[in-house]
Amino acid sequence: MHNKTRLPQHIAACACLLFSSACTSLPQQPIATNSPPVTPTAPAAQTTQQTTASTARIYQQQIQISGRITVLYQQADKPQSMPGSFEWEQDRDSIRITLISPLGQTMARITQTAQGARLEQDGKETRQAADLDLLLQDTLGWSLPVAGLRDWLQGFVAKDGKTAMSLQAQDQTIDAQGWKLRYAAWHEQPSFPKRIDLQRYTSQAGDISIRIVVDQWK
């Protein structure tokens, strides 16, 4: 009596085991979805190269720049300050600079060509010289490295007398032509200098500090 009762139970148990084994042995089919294909992420180095390439700086022979300038120097052993703004225009053969007071008055117009330098001030006689740095020193009481700024304002610096090379857009300090240059800030697009601090000691004006902030490029 007991054996007859257990037989159907054994058969049912075996059937369940066979069914379970068959289910686990079947290969699982992928589930179709509407998700878009995954695009591999570019390596960090490749992304950096692309970013660098997109912000590559090209030297321009002809530019127009405007911004602010602050000059700290000494005269008769007394500290002097000249805040104001400036307009800078250059082409292949010449440089023209206009210095403007905080009240908007033109303090000086400076021109440099292959023939020499010229400085004009309202109400004063125009002065000319072969060396612009000496002309500015004698007239304004401080020197401005115009020849160097032709490259420096664009983020190019010549080291050890070599060809001017493009700088990385980062905070850095460099010695060039007797001046200590600090590139303190950069514009993002394009990556041209935004703030340059210049320092130098001269026997005529003592410690000279010049801060240039570039506001606009044309």
Q: Give the count of alpha carbons within 13 A of 205, CB side only.
A: 23
pLDDT-based confidence at residue 137 (cuts at 50, 70, 90): confident
pLDDT greater at residue 14 or residue 170: 170
Q: Report the percent of the chain where pLDDT is more than 70.
A: 74
Q: Beta partners for 69? A: 84, 212
Mean pLDDT for the chain overall: 80
Q: Does domain 63-217 have CATH number 2.50.20.10?
A: yes
pLDDT greater at residue 156 or residue 32: 156
Residue 23 DSSP symbol:
H
Q: What are the tokens at 149?
A: 């700024």
Rounded CA separation 207/79 (Å): 9
Rounded CA separation 13/6 (Å): 11
Above 90 in pLDDT, residue 183? yes
Rounded CA separation 190/166 (Å): 13
pTM of the model: 0.73
